[in-house]
Amino acid sequence: MSLELNKTEQAVVDGLSSDYSEDLIEVYQSCEHTYIRVEANNIVDILTYLKKKHHFIFLCDIVGTDRYTSDERFELIYNIMNLRTQDRIFVKIRLEEENPVVKTATSVWKAAGWLEREAYDMFGIRFEGHPDHRRIFMPEDFEYFPLRKEFPLLGIPGSIELPNTTPDTE
């Protein structure tokens, strides 16, 4: 499939293939967006490079995906934007099922803090070096990761506490 890259995207792909050729896995386009899949080990360097050299200063979102039953089960998608040219690219990494750990992007964008907490809360992906590595939606003592495919839709009965309905009796 031939790629239709604009100037910024072409510069990004060229820059990554020369400077990070070992980490670059694939580049593809879908729904008028460009996706770049890279190795997870070096993700912080690549994101720093994109921010410093290509002006992708705005981190819109970090999305987790569960590719249940596939190898490298979890996927993280960094949705980043160049505010000078209004170009958006998606950087993807894949993580193992057993121990999904990746280095935090909070050193690159401060906004990554809450987005990574959400990915941790929903999928159990851990972020090495995160300054405040807590859950963001579910209670702290919740033991499951609700957006994983094996988690039942209605939750696990009794896993979240309901209020005491007889308060006078303790």
Partner 1 sequence: MGIESALGEGFFTTKIDSLTNWARANAAWPMPMGLACCAIEMMAFAGPRYDASRFGSEVMRFSPRQSDVMIVAGWSTYKMSHAIRRIWDQMPDPKWCIAMGACASTGGMHRCYGVVQGVDNYLPVDVYVSGCPPRPDALLHALMKIQDKIKTEHSVLLDT
The answer to whether the CB of 117 falls within 8 A of the CB of 135 is yes
Q: Does 137 bind partner 1 (CB under 8 A)?
A: yes
CA distance 161 to 71: 35
Q: Does 164 bind partner 1 (CB under 8 A)?
A: yes
- Closest separation in Å from C-beta 161 to partner 1: 7
- Binding segment toward partner 1, per CB under 8 A, in 66-74, 83-91, 102-110, 132-140: 132-140
For residue 77, give the nearest of 34, 110, 48 by alpha carbon.
34
- Closest separation in Å from C-beta 76 to partner 1: 22
The number of residues in the chain equals 170
- Closest separation in Å from C-beta 119 to partner 1: 17
User: Which of 141, 143, 150, 161 forms a contact with partner 1 (CB under 8 A)?
Assistant: 161
- Closest separation in Å from C-beta 141 to partner 1: 12
CA distance 138 to 145: 9
CA distance 88 to 96: 27
